[in-house]
Protein backbone atom coordinates (compact mmCIF):
# COMPACT_ATOMS: atom_id res chain seq x y z
CA UNK A 1 0.00 0.00 0.00
CA UNK A 2 1.08 3.51 -0.76
CA UNK A 3 -0.40 6.90 0.04
CA UNK A 4 -0.75 9.13 -3.00
CA UNK A 5 -2.46 12.42 -2.21
CA UNK A 6 -5.90 11.56 -0.78
CA UNK A 7 -5.71 8.06 -2.30
CA UNK A 8 -4.40 4.84 -0.82
CA UNK A 9 -3.00 2.75 -3.70
CA UNK A 10 -3.95 -0.84 -2.86
CA UNK A 11 -2.85 -2.89 -5.86
CA UNK A 12 -1.15 -2.28 -9.18
CA UNK A 13 -3.53 -3.40 -11.92
CA UNK A 14 -1.26 -2.79 -14.89
CA UNK A 15 1.23 -0.58 -16.66
CA UNK A 16 1.67 0.72 -20.15
CA UNK A 17 3.50 3.29 -22.21
CA UNK A 18 1.79 6.20 -20.45
CA UNK A 19 1.65 5.11 -16.84
CA UNK A 20 0.69 2.72 -14.09
CA UNK A 21 -2.87 1.87 -13.09
CA UNK A 22 -3.83 1.12 -9.49
CA UNK A 23 -6.87 -0.01 -7.56
CA UNK A 24 -7.17 2.72 -4.94
CA UNK A 25 -9.31 3.80 -2.05
CA UNK A 26 -10.30 7.38 -1.34
CA UNK A 27 -9.95 8.69 2.19
CA UNK A 28 -13.76 8.64 2.33
CA UNK A 29 -13.72 4.88 1.78
CA UNK A 30 -14.87 4.53 -1.86
CA UNK A 31 -12.85 2.48 -4.35
CA UNK A 32 -11.50 4.13 -7.48
CA UNK A 33 -8.90 3.51 -10.17
CA UNK A 34 -5.87 5.79 -10.40
CA UNK A 35 -3.64 6.07 -13.44
CA UNK A 36 -0.33 7.75 -12.62
CA UNK A 37 1.39 9.23 -15.63
CA UNK A 38 5.06 8.32 -16.02
CA UNK A 39 7.26 11.22 -14.83
CA UNK A 40 9.42 11.41 -17.97
CA UNK A 41 6.29 12.07 -20.05
CA UNK A 42 5.02 14.98 -17.98
CA UNK A 43 8.46 16.61 -18.13
CA UNK A 44 7.66 17.19 -21.81
CA UNK A 45 5.51 20.38 -22.00
CA UNK A 46 3.93 19.25 -25.29
CA UNK A 47 2.84 15.92 -23.79
CA UNK A 48 1.55 17.59 -20.62
CA UNK A 49 -0.62 20.04 -22.63
CA UNK A 50 -1.98 17.16 -24.72
CA UNK A 51 -2.66 15.06 -21.60
CA UNK A 52 -4.48 17.91 -19.84
CA UNK A 53 -6.51 18.84 -22.93
CA UNK A 54 -7.61 15.29 -23.65
CA UNK A 55 -8.37 14.52 -20.00
CA UNK A 56 -10.53 17.65 -19.69
CA UNK A 57 -12.47 16.60 -22.76
CA UNK A 58 -12.85 12.96 -21.66
CA UNK A 59 -14.04 14.08 -18.21
CA UNK A 60 -17.12 15.61 -19.91
CA UNK A 61 -18.30 12.18 -21.06
CA UNK A 62 -21.16 10.87 -18.94
CA UNK A 63 -22.70 7.61 -20.16
CA UNK A 64 -23.46 4.24 -18.52
CA UNK A 65 -21.05 2.49 -20.91
CA UNK A 66 -18.13 4.88 -20.40
CA UNK A 67 -16.01 4.66 -17.26
CA UNK A 68 -16.27 8.17 -15.83
CA UNK A 69 -13.22 10.25 -15.01
CA UNK A 70 -13.81 11.56 -11.51
CA UNK A 71 -10.68 13.64 -10.99
CA UNK A 72 -7.35 14.55 -12.50
CA UNK A 73 -4.48 16.54 -11.14
CA UNK A 74 -1.01 16.46 -9.70
CA UNK A 75 0.47 15.08 -6.47
CA UNK A 76 4.07 16.03 -5.69
CA UNK A 77 4.86 16.52 -9.38
CA UNK A 78 3.16 13.31 -10.55
CA UNK A 79 0.06 13.76 -12.74
CA UNK A 80 -2.83 11.33 -12.44
CA UNK A 81 -6.32 10.50 -13.63
CA UNK A 82 -8.86 8.95 -11.23
CA UNK A 83 -11.69 6.96 -12.80
CA UNK A 84 -14.69 5.14 -11.44
CA UNK A 85 -13.80 1.68 -10.21
CA UNK A 86 -15.21 -1.00 -12.51
CA UNK A 87 -15.28 -4.44 -10.82
CA UNK A 88 -14.72 -7.08 -13.48
CA UNK A 89 -12.26 -7.98 -16.24
CA UNK A 90 -11.21 -6.46 -19.52
CA UNK A 91 -12.47 -8.10 -22.70
CA UNK A 92 -8.96 -9.23 -23.60
CA UNK A 93 -8.84 -11.37 -20.44
CA UNK A 94 -12.33 -12.79 -21.06
CA UNK A 95 -11.40 -13.72 -24.64
CA UNK A 96 -8.19 -15.36 -23.42
CA UNK A 97 -10.08 -17.40 -20.83
CA UNK A 98 -12.71 -18.46 -23.39
CA UNK A 99 -9.92 -19.59 -25.73
CA UNK A 100 -8.12 -21.46 -22.91
CA UNK A 101 -11.22 -23.48 -22.03
CA UNK A 102 -12.19 -23.84 -25.70
CA UNK A 103 -15.63 -22.38 -25.06
CA UNK A 104 -16.36 -19.28 -27.15
CA UNK A 105 -18.35 -16.39 -25.74
CA UNK A 106 -21.98 -16.93 -26.88
CA UNK A 107 -23.11 -14.87 -29.88
CA UNK A 108 -25.92 -13.29 -27.84
CA UNK A 109 -23.37 -12.01 -25.30
CA UNK A 110 -21.08 -10.73 -28.05
CA UNK A 111 -24.04 -8.86 -29.60
CA UNK A 112 -24.91 -7.35 -26.18
CA UNK A 113 -21.32 -6.16 -25.77
CA UNK A 114 -21.26 -4.71 -29.30
CA UNK A 115 -24.47 -2.74 -28.69
CA UNK A 116 -23.07 -1.28 -25.47
CA UNK A 117 -19.73 -0.36 -27.09
CA UNK A 118 -21.60 1.29 -29.97
CA UNK A 119 -23.70 3.26 -27.46
CA UNK A 120 -20.54 4.47 -25.69
CA UNK A 121 -18.96 5.54 -28.98
CA UNK A 122 -22.15 7.29 -30.07
CA UNK A 123 -22.15 9.24 -26.79
CA UNK A 124 -18.52 10.26 -27.34
CA UNK A 125 -19.09 11.21 -30.98
CA UNK A 126 -22.22 13.21 -30.03
CA UNK A 127 -20.65 15.03 -27.06
CA UNK A 128 -20.78 18.83 -27.09
CA UNK A 129 -19.23 21.65 -25.13
CA UNK A 130 -21.22 24.12 -22.98
CA UNK A 131 -22.10 26.13 -26.11
CA UNK A 132 -23.45 23.05 -27.90
CA UNK A 133 -20.49 22.71 -30.29
CA UNK A 134 -19.36 19.20 -31.14
CA UNK A 135 -16.25 18.03 -29.30
CA UNK A 136 -15.55 15.71 -32.26
CA UNK A 137 -14.21 12.96 -30.02
CA UNK A 138 -12.87 9.86 -31.74
CA UNK A 139 -11.53 7.20 -29.33
CA UNK A 140 -8.88 5.71 -31.68
CA UNK A 141 -8.08 2.76 -29.42
CA UNK A 142 -11.24 0.65 -29.13
CA UNK A 143 -9.56 -2.66 -28.40
CA UNK A 144 -10.32 -5.54 -25.99
CA UNK A 145 -7.82 -4.08 -23.51
CA UNK A 146 -9.90 -0.86 -23.25
CA UNK A 147 -13.28 -2.57 -22.85
CA UNK A 148 -14.13 -3.53 -19.28
CA UNK A 149 -16.90 -6.01 -18.52
CA UNK A 150 -18.39 -5.62 -15.06
CA UNK A 151 -19.30 -8.58 -12.88
CA UNK A 152 -22.93 -7.86 -13.87
CA UNK A 153 -22.10 -8.05 -17.59
CA UNK A 154 -22.19 -4.33 -18.40
CA UNK A 155 -19.53 -2.97 -20.76
CA UNK A 156 -17.54 0.16 -19.88
CA UNK A 157 -15.24 1.78 -22.45
CA UNK A 158 -12.08 3.27 -20.93
CA UNK A 159 -8.98 5.24 -21.89
CA UNK A 160 -9.96 8.18 -24.00
CA UNK A 161 -6.34 9.30 -23.50
CA UNK A 162 -5.61 9.06 -27.21
CA UNK A 163 -8.93 10.60 -28.22
CA UNK A 164 -8.89 13.11 -31.05
CA UNK A 165 -10.85 16.23 -30.23
CA UNK A 166 -11.28 19.51 -32.05
CA UNK A 167 -10.59 21.85 -29.17
CA UNK A 168 -7.37 20.39 -27.83
CA UNK A 169 -4.34 22.63 -28.06
CA UNK A 170 -2.03 20.02 -29.59
CA UNK A 171 -2.65 17.96 -32.70
CA UNK A 172 -1.13 14.62 -33.64
CA UNK A 173 1.94 15.10 -35.78
CA UNK A 174 1.77 13.90 -39.36
CA UNK A 175 2.98 10.33 -39.65
CA UNK A 176 2.33 9.48 -35.99
CA UNK A 177 -0.23 6.73 -35.36
CA UNK A 178 -2.18 6.55 -32.13
CA UNK A 179 -3.91 3.36 -31.13
CA UNK A 180 -3.33 -0.29 -32.02
CA UNK A 181 -3.04 -1.11 -35.71
CA UNK A 182 -5.26 -4.25 -35.68
CA UNK A 183 -8.16 -2.21 -34.23
CA UNK A 184 -7.83 0.96 -36.30
CA UNK A 185 -10.59 2.25 -38.49
CA UNK A 186 -9.65 1.77 -42.17
CA UNK A 187 -9.56 5.54 -42.74
CA UNK A 188 -7.12 5.98 -39.88
CA UNK A 189 -4.83 3.18 -41.10
CA UNK A 190 -4.89 4.85 -44.53
CA UNK A 191 -3.95 8.22 -42.97
CA UNK A 192 -7.27 9.75 -44.00
CA UNK A 193 -9.59 11.99 -41.97
CA UNK A 194 -10.86 10.05 -38.93
Residues 70 and 149: their CA atoms lie apart, in Å, by 19
Catalytic residue among 76, 100, 141, 159: 141
- Angstrom CA distances, 105 to 51, 116, 164, stand at 35, 16, 31
Residues 188 and 139: their CA atoms lie apart, in Å, by 11
Q: Which long-range contacts (CB under 8 A, 24 or more apart) does 126-134 make?
A: 127/60, 127/61, 129/60, 129/167, 134/166
Active site annotation includes 159: no
Sheet holding 155-157, edge to edge: 88-90, 147-150, 155-157
Looking at the annotation, which residues are catalytic? 141
Amino acid sequence: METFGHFTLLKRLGAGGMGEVFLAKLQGGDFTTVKRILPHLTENPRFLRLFLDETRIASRLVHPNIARITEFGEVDGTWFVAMEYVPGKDLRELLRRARDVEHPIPASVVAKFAVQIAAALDAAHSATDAQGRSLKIVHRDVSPHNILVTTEGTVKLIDFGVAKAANKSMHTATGILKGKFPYMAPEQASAKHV
